[in-house]
Structures are given as structure tokens and as C-alpha cells.
Amino acid sequence: MPKMKSHSGAKKRFKLTATGKVKHKQANKSHLLTHESHKRKRQLRGTKVVDHAQERQVKRLLPYGGGM
């Protein structure tokens, strides 16, 4: 059986933690930020963990742990 391929888009966007959770960068932080409040921009910094409902879908796209 040949190796499975990781989804190229998913491996750029998600990374697995040591405990098996999936991290991702927050959306809505790339452009047109002048009208956003300082509080909103501050809350969008850093990474978050993918919701439990989507975790299984993301893990299927990354069969070998994915990420960088």
C-alpha cells in the first residue's frame, strides 16, 4: 500500500500539538483592520485550538501529523 498524501492546504494552516489537538491561526487578521477596535485585533492574535466538531475532519487531511 503506498503512503497517503497530506492535504497541502491543511498542512500550511494547521499544526498538531503534542497531546493531539489541532492548532490554527485566527481568521480576520490580514487586511482592512483600520475599522476594527484595538480589543478585537488584540483578541485575534496568536493561535487557537480547532473546535471539537471539526477536529476529526482536519486530522483526516493530515494523516502523518502534518504541520511544519
Let me know if residue 2 belongs to a domain.
Answer: no
Let me know if residue 27 belongs to a domain.
Answer: yes
Specify the pLDDT at position 12.
94
Specify the pLDDT at position 68.
53
**Statement: the pTM of the whole predicted model exceeds 0.85:** no
- Low-confidence residues in the chain, pLDDT < 70: 66-68
Q: What is the CATH number of the domain that holds 18?
A: 4.10.410.60
Q: Are 50 and 24 in contact (CB under 8 A)?
A: yes
Let me know if residue 28 belongs to a domain.
Answer: yes
CA–CA separation, 23 and 26 (whole Å): 10
Judged by DSSP in three states, 12 sits in helix
CA–CA separation, 30 and 27 (whole Å): 8
Specify the pLDDT at position 9.
95
Q: What is the DSSP letter of 17?
A: -
Let me know if residue 13 belongs to a domain.
Answer: yes
CA–CA separation, 7 and 44 (whole Å): 25
Let me know if residue 66 belongs to a domain.
Answer: no
Let me know if residue 67 belongs to a domain.
Answer: no
